[in-house]
Chain A
Amino acid sequence: MTSPDTFVGHDEAAATTTPVVRRRRRRPSLERMLFFLVFLGLPLVVYLMFVVSPFLQSFYYSLTNWSGLSPSMDFIGLENYERIFGDAVFWKSLRNNLILLVLLPTITITLSFALAVMVTIGGSTHGGVRGVRGAGFYRVISFFPYAVPAVITGILFNFIYHPGGGLLNGFLNLVVGAVNAVIGLLGLGPVPEIHNAWLGDQRFALAAVAFAMIWTFVGFYMVLFVASIKSIPSEVLEAARIDGAGRLRTAVQVVAPMVRDNISTAVVYIGIFALDAFTFISVMTPNGGTGNSTKVVSLHLYQTAFRDGRFGEASAMGVLMAIVTMLVAVVVITVGRPRKDER
């Protein structure tokens, strides 16, 4: 609380003694103006031009019948929104987005938090608080999936889920083989081999794609949580341990509240990703899966715009998704913010 005051105080002291400096204070120096211009004005202009104006523009397009090609377009009011509300595929896609919205943050954050706890405070209870043996190695390794581009991850998982020669079915069939060997001894009939097309089966497809996303993100959020757990003073953790708190209790009741801000940031990020998810879905199930089982709004929007040439309607979907995304961000931040008396 002291550093800004010191600076101002010093400045004022200088101002009262020399009027020259005083004048300079009233008229900002060239350097100061340049500073504002470069570090505030420029980003603001870029932001207005590339973020705010397209946003407003697409809101306008959502009220037109623009085909994406014609230089002109007709204003049609809320007709696009009416179409969307009556579009079963849109609702199905939104439903899939909402499933992802619940699934992805919950699983990813639980997993990555658990891993972060293991590599920071999950180690031996003798001596100082530390992570499990080899923590440094795990921290590096777990970051690798995040470094692989999403498209490549999607293609790799396509191979893993391949119904014929896929890794997943191959592994399951090893298990099936072992089971058959055992129950064969008991005189029971063999369990059939598994040839599931994971990405084509409506029951598993969305979960299969979600798994690839979780695999990608767990390491990244683990690193984020590790950094914030490291910033907790070790006295606090040692005190908790002396008071008899086990690892789980320390993690849930001491560490988690102290890194709450990071967790809610992570929820917002993953939540926004879950509402998009375009890359993974379009690489792994280009048409949104059997019976639209994995179609998400972003893919539906893309098809509406670029396949059907209905940019107006697609813009309306974009506007709706922007609203949904903002609502999610507001809810998460409100819930995640500690009440005043807790501080």
Chain B
Amino acid sequence: MGTSADDMTPLERIGASRRHFLAIAGAGAGASMLAACAGGGGGGGGDEKEGGGSVTGEGETSEENPLGVDGTLPVHAVIFDGGYGTKYAEDAGAKYEELYPESKVTVDATVNIQPDLQPQFAGGTPPDVFDNSGAQKLSIDGLIDQLADLGDLLAAPMVDGEGTIEENLLPGVTSPGMFDGTFLGMNYVYTVFALWYSAKEFEEKGWTVPETWDDLMTLGEEVKGEGRYLFSYGGQNASNYYQEMALSMAAKLGGPEVLTKIDNLEEDAFSQDAVVQAFDAMAAAVEAGYFEPGGEGIKHTDAQTNWVQGKSVFYPSGSWIENEQADVTPEGYAMTGAPVPSLPDSTMPYEAFHGTAAEQYFVPSGGENPSGGAEFLRVMLSKEQAKNFAELTKAPSVIKDTVPEDGFGSTALASVNAMITAAGENTFTYNFSDWYGLGADSITSWTKFLKGDIDSATLAEEQQAMIDAVREDDSITKFKAGS
């Protein structure tokens, strides 16, 4: 029996021709095709404004129109359709059209910011304003040259309140949007990082929320006696929530400067005494078996489900957690946030917390109507729209005094509001992880640590090596903290 063409089955023939095809074409091209089809499209020509140019338009400025908006131009906004939905932005768009009847506002919703917007940027036709959020947000390092300076927006008066916009912002809100002293990103949602628990459980068991690390460890022993754990973690993709908790404890111990040093990628940032103590404290909890075992094999969704279903007591996370867990949280759980416990001799009070702002809005400098994009943000930042946002989403916006005490019926929002009031100016934040995209690398180290594979000293070394690598890499744009 020969294998000449006549004797082949159709499958064999396909196989044979495919084989040659593969050998010639190299099917591996698929991998590089991923990156291939997007760039060099439009080129944009020479009419693009340099990044960092002021956002104020050519039009005349006045009290009502401080940004010099040309009211006849349309505004194109792209909103990330995530946990907060897009209703709030559509409402702001309607309000904008009310202020500028000749203008047409288009609010596009997407969950895929990066795939949707990247071709528009590369082709020189970005939107006027967009919300860079979600798992597929655009990387900041690549974006920075394409953005307008929003400094004028901060200095502009409120649409419906006293003073300028900056005066009405909660503390720390502008920090994540500052890049090398230029304000490029207006973060809209205020995020409080806290230790979340069931107020109902604490009430039933007569527990008090531990304010010091020692109290927490004592509670851990009691919880362990019930066959439960203090914490759950999702090591596959979210162990860095515990990095956040440890760094918050370090900041409360040594002051916000501790985090500034890390943000500035200093050489011994992770060997600062406050960081060492916080990491050691976490290591003690790992060693004592207060972390639910098996976390290294699961994702954050699984871990958080375990937590609300009672396998563990606390979960460190941001104030989006109530919304995120709404589907699986048992009735009457009364999810409540508290500041992370203090280590002995902390310089900041217990009430201090990690407060930052999320949902970062950018105005591309190369858009059709940058000043209209900024004006859209000014409308969103009005008291009226900020209140509307809080009511719609049960999350606070960055504008002060827009949430009533009952938190529109949400225990989480009420506790967040109380935390904001109690802390006053005592908030802190860090940005290195977002600036340099270090989340994944931190997860790699933190999962090993929470699993018990490495000790706190090794963890600190790995974290230090991670920021050292960024510092020594000349091809990465560096940002300065606290400027």
Interface residues in chain A, defined as those with a beta carbon under 8 Å from any beta carbon in chain B: 1, 3, 51, 54-55, 57-59, 61-62, 65-73, 79, 83, 158, 161-164, 195-202, 224, 227-228, 231, 233, 236, 258, 261-262, 264-265, 268, 272, 275-276, 285-292, 297-298, 301-303, 305-311, 314-315, 317-319, 321-326, 329-330, 333, 343
* Bound Cα distance A286, B114 (Å): 18
Chain B residues near A (Cβ < 8 Å): 1-4, 6-7, 9, 11-12, 15-16, 18-19, 22-23, 25-44, 48, 114, 118, 121-124, 136, 138-143, 145-146, 235-237, 293-299, 302, 306, 311, 437, 439-440, 443-444, 447-448, 451, 453, 475
| Given the contacts A231-B9, A308-B437, A321-B28, A70 and B15 also touching, CB distance less than 8 Å | no
Contact B139 A321 (CB under 8 A): no
A307 to B440, CA, bound (A): 9
Whether the pair B36, A55 counts as a contact (CB closer than 8 A) is: yes
Cα–Cα, bound, A317→B4 (Å): 40
Known: A306-B139, A326-B26. A54 touches B33 (CB 8 A): yes
Q: A65-B475, A291-B444, A322-B29 are in contact. Are A164 and B36 (CB under 8 A)?
A: no
Q: A67 contacts B141, CB within 8 Å?
A: yes
A sample of 14 more A-B contacts (CB under 8 A), given A265-B19, A305-B34, is: A55-B32, A68-B142, A197-B298, A200-B295, A200-B447, A233-B1, A258-B1, A265-B15, A290-B453, A310-B475, A318-B35, A318-B36, A325-B28, A329-B26
Shortest distance from the beta carbon of B404 to any chain A beta carbon, whole Å: 38
Partner of A309, one of B42, B138, B299: B138
Contact A276 B30 (CB under 8 A): yes
Q: In the assembled complex, which residues on chain B have CB atoms less than 8 Å from the CB atom of A318?
A: 28, 31-36
* A200-B295, A309-B143, A321-B32 as given contacts; A236 in contact with B1, CB under 8 Å: yes
A291 touches B31 (CB 8 A): no
Q: Which residues of B contact A297 (CB under 8 A)?
A: 31
Nearest-neighbour CB distance to chain B for A254, whole angstroms, equals 12
Among B11, B12, B34, chain A packs the most CB atoms within 10 A around the CB of B34
Determine the residue in chain A with the shortest Cβ distance to B42.
Answer: A71
- Is B36 within 8 A of A54, CB to CB? yes
Asked if residues A285 and B29 are in contact (CB atoms below 8 Å), the reply is no
Hey, which chain A residues are within 8 Å of B15, CB to CB?
A: 261-262, 265
- CB nearest to A285 among chain B residues: B236
Q: How far is the CB of B389 from chain A (nearest CB, A)?
A: 28
What are some 17 contacts across the A-B interface (CB < 8 A)?
A61-B36, A67-B141, A69-B139, A70-B121, A70-B142, A70-B145, A228-B11, A231-B12, A261-B3, A265-B18, A272-B28, A287-B237, A287-B440, A309-B437, A310-B475, A325-B27, A343-B2
A287 touches B444 (CB 8 A): yes
CB proximity of A334 to chain B, nearest CB, Å: 9
Measured in the bound complex, the distance between the Cα atoms of B296 and A196 in whole Å is 10
Task: Check A291–B298 contact: CB distance below 8 A.
Answer: no
Cα A189 to Cα B124 with chains together (Å): 71
| B36 contacts across to A, CB distance below 8 A | 54-55, 57-58, 61, 315, 318
Contact A69–B143 (Cβ < 8 Å): yes
A242 CB to closest chain B CB (Å) equals: 17
Closest-CB distance, B46 to chain A (whole angstroms): 11
Most buried by B among A3, A61, A68, A319: A68
- Find the B residue at minimum CB distance from A55: B29
A59 to B32, CA, bound (A): 8
Say yes or no: B39 contacts A290, CB within 8 Å.
Answer: no
Give the distance in Å from the alpha carbon of A288 to the alpha carbon of B236 in the complex.
8
CB distance from A61 to the nearest CB of B (A): 6
Min CB–CB distance A68 → chain B (angstroms):
5
Which of A54, A67, A268 counts the most B-chain CB atoms under 10 A from its CB?
A: A67
Task: Return the contact of A343 from the options B3, B7, B30 (Cβ within 8 A).
Answer: B3
Instruction: Evaluate contact between B138 and A69: CB separation under 8 angstroms.
Output: yes
Q: Check A70–B146 contact: CB distance below 8 A.
A: yes
B298 neighbours in A (Cβ, 8 Å): 158, 162-164, 197, 199-200
| Cα–Cα distance between A202 and B3 once the two chains are bound (Å) | 47
Which among A199, A262, A290 is the interface contact of B12 at CB below 8 angstroms? A262
Cβ of A302: which chain B residues have Cβ within 8 Å of it?
34
B137 to chain A, nearest CB (A): 9
Given the complex, which residues of A lie within 8 Å of B138, measured CB to CB? 69, 309
Determine whether the beta carbon of A308 is less than 8 Å from that of B141.
yes
Considering the complex, give the chain A residue whose CB is closest to the CB of B48: A71
Q: Which chain A residues lie closer than 8 Å to B439 at the CB level?
A: 307
Shortest Cβ gap from B336 to chain A (Å): 25
Closest to B302 in A: A162
Assess A322 versus B28: contact at CB under 8 Å? Given A61-B39, A65-B475.
yes
Residue of A nearest to B25 (CB): A51
Chain B nearest Cβ from A12, distance in angstroms: 23
- Beta-carbon nearest neighbor of B15 in chain A: A265
Contact of A290 among B11, B32, B33, B235 (CB under 8 A): B235
Specify which chain A residues have a CB less than 8 angstroms from the CB of B297 in the assembled complex: 161-163, 196-201
A227 lies within 8 A of B11 (CB) = yes
Q: Judging by beta carbons under 8 Å apart, are B29 and A69 in contact?
A: no
B38 near A68 with CB under 8 A, answer yes
With A and B bound together, what is the CA distance between A309 and B18 in angstroms? Answer: 35
Chain A, residue nearest B121 (CB): A69
Point out the residues of chain A lying under 8 angstroms from B22, CB to CB.
Answer: 268, 272, 329
Asked whether, in the complex, the Cβ of B27 is within 8 Å of the Cβ of A272, the reply is yes
Contacting pair A303 B39 (CB below 8 A): no
CB contacts (< 8 Å) of B451 on chain A: these are 200, 290
Asked if B236 and A286 sit within 8 Å, CB to CB, the answer is yes
CB-CB < 8 A to A292: which residues of B? Answer: 444
Residue from A79, A197, A307 in contact with B296 in the complex, judged by beta carbons closer than 8 Å? A197
* Bound Cα distance A242, B208 (Å): 84
**A68 contacts which of B23, B118, B294, B440 (Cβ < 8 Å)?**
B118
Chain A proximity of B13: nearest CB distance (Å): 10
**B1 nearest in chain A by CB position:** A233
B146 and A200: CB pair below 8 A? no
With known contacts A51-B25, A201-B297, A228-B11, A71–B35 Cβ distance under 8 A: no
Residue among B4, B18, B35, B475 making CB contact with A58, cutoff 8 Å: B35
Chain B residues closer than 8 Å to A311, beta-carbon distance: 35, 38-39
Distance from B478 Cβ to chain A, minimum over Cβ atoms (Å): 14
The residues of A that contact B16 with a CB separation of less than 8 Å are 261, 265
Provide the bound-state CA to CA distance between A55 and B32, in Å: 7
For residue A188, give the distance in angstroms from its CB to the closest CB of chain B: 25
Which of B25, B142, B297 is packed against the most chain A CB atoms within 10 Å?
B297
- Chain B residue, CB-CB nearest to A67: B142
The reply to whether A323 and B28 contact each other, CB–CB distance below 8 Å, is yes
Q: Which of B6, B19, B32, B34 has the most CB of A within 10 A?
A: B32
A268, B19: Cβ atoms closer than 8 Å: yes
Which chain A residue has the least Cβ–Cβ distance from B440?
A: A287
A321 vs B34: C-alpha distance when bound (angstroms): 12
Most chain A C-beta atoms within 10 Å of own C-beta, residue among B121, B139, B145: B139
Complex Cα distance, B32 from A314, in Å, reads 8
Central interface residue in A61, A195, A290, by most chain B CB within 10 Å: A290
Which 6 pairs across A and B sit closest by C-beta, in order of nearness? A197-B297, A163-B294, A318-B32, A200-B296, A325-B28, A309-B139
